[in-house]
Amino acid sequence: MVSKGGLHYWMQSEDFDLAHHFVHVALPKPGRIRELLAMVSRVHCGHLDRAYPLWQMYLIEGLADGRFAVYIKVHHALMDGIAGIRLLMRSMSTNLDTSLTLPPPWEVPTQRSKPRHLPLPSPTSGGLSALRSLAREHVGSVVPVVRELRSNVRDIIRRNPDFVFAGQAPRTIFNQKVSATRRFAAQSYSTPRIKAVAEAYGATANDVVLAMCAGALRRYLLDLGELPKRPLVAAVPVSVRREGSDHANEVSFTFCHLATHLYNPEARLRAINSCMDYNKAHLQRLSPDQSLVCSAFKLLPGALNAVTRLVDNSALANVIISHVPGPRRPLYWQGAKLCGLYPASLVVDSGALNITLISRHDFVDVGLIACRKAVPQVQRLLQYLEDALLELEATIHATVIPN
């Protein structure tokens, strides 16, 4: 990636060196999951060198149970979560024998469709041409977006609790400047258990996952004496990827309050379900391009406040919670069965905690990445997520759920 005139461009690497990107390491003894997570936490701290293609892959041996791990680090500018999962799946197979013949991820050919958007100019043509091409691309999106923003204003006036915008979140320990240190924690949860709760309440599995995160974050902040009176707000990435698209990044954002001011787990789930239903209904009115433009406008109040600090006790959002669909069947890589697919995303200033989940046939694999200094003992959230799911399951057996 190169930069000119404040804009970034991709260039073909003339001297690609696999040794710079592929690293073979071994865990220190005793080779527990604890040592693996500690290693991932360390290597996740460093930045990728923009003088090289923006990815690295670590083959990690030395786990006590005979398994091995693969850690892949990719810059988000190169691909989003769904594009990354698709790339990985092309190097795996549902058949053990077939998996032995597939190429490694860095040799998987990309089958990019014909560009739908006007191309960005070359580095020599300058920034004005780039702005003109982007304006032409989105001119047809203006009217529906304006209509949607008017609807948002009406919801603000009516104080619709389901409408959440950037900058509405209370400031928490997650909303501070991050250090260079990271802490990674990961665990799997049963998909059938999550779906059973969703079906009982007429919600989606994603609603239940958000409710689990709400319960876990509420308890974590209570332990620290840091739970705000206003509900936490999650920024929830939403894929606007078209069927068959192979573009690197096609992600919009929506915002959901996590109802952490409510003690009752059932009430939290119902509030989250209502908020997400509202968001989905509004997103369905927009095309993918219009959704991206509308999301940008919704970020403005929080972005302006982040710069001006006119409202000092508010933040853009408290946490990013992303749920990425993964493989629906067991997969094999070079003859080895995939036992877990744990995402390690990124944290930024005023966003010291990121929760990303991947649905993988019978499991939801959760990866927590946090600034070690801002979010102490983030691994406690793993147990709190399990406890939150148990609480929701208990409400099913304790009450009669109305149709």
Side chain identity, residue 378: V
Assess contact for 231 and 268: CB atoms under 8 A: no
Please enumerate in sequence order all residues whose Cβ is within 8 A of that of 37, keeping only pairs 6 or more positions apart, or say none: 184, 185, 186, 379
Catalytic residue among 8, 75, 76, 323: 76
Assess contact for 226 and 318: CB atoms under 8 A: no
Please enumerate in sequence order all residues whose Cβ is within 8 A of that of 254, keeping only pairs 6 or more positions apart, or say none: 235, 236, 238, 279, 283, 295
Instruction: Please name which of 230, 235, 220, 214 lies closest in space to residue 170, comparing C-alpha atoms.
Output: 230
Give the integer Cα–Cα distance in Å for 395 and 208: 13
Instruction: Please name which of 88, 110, 92 lies closest in space to residue 325, comparing C-alpha atoms.
Output: 88
Strands 55-61 and 22-26: parallel
- Let me know how long the chain is: 403
Cis peptide bond prior to 30, omega within 30° of 0: yes
Report the Cα 403 to chain-centroid distance in Å: 32
Give the integer Cα–Cα distance in Å for 328 and 14: 38
Assess contact for 211 and 269: CB atoms under 8 A: yes
Give the integer Cα–Cα distance in Å for 59 and 71: 7
DSSP 378: T
Give the integer Cα–Cα distance in Å for 212 and 25: 35
Give the integer Cα–Cα distance in Å for 249 and 84: 10
Residue 76 is among the residues annotated as catalytic for this protein: yes
Radius of gyration of the chain from its Cα atoms, rounded to whole angstroms: 22
- The residue to which tokens 């696999």 are assigned: 18
User: Which of the residues are catalytic?
Assistant: 76
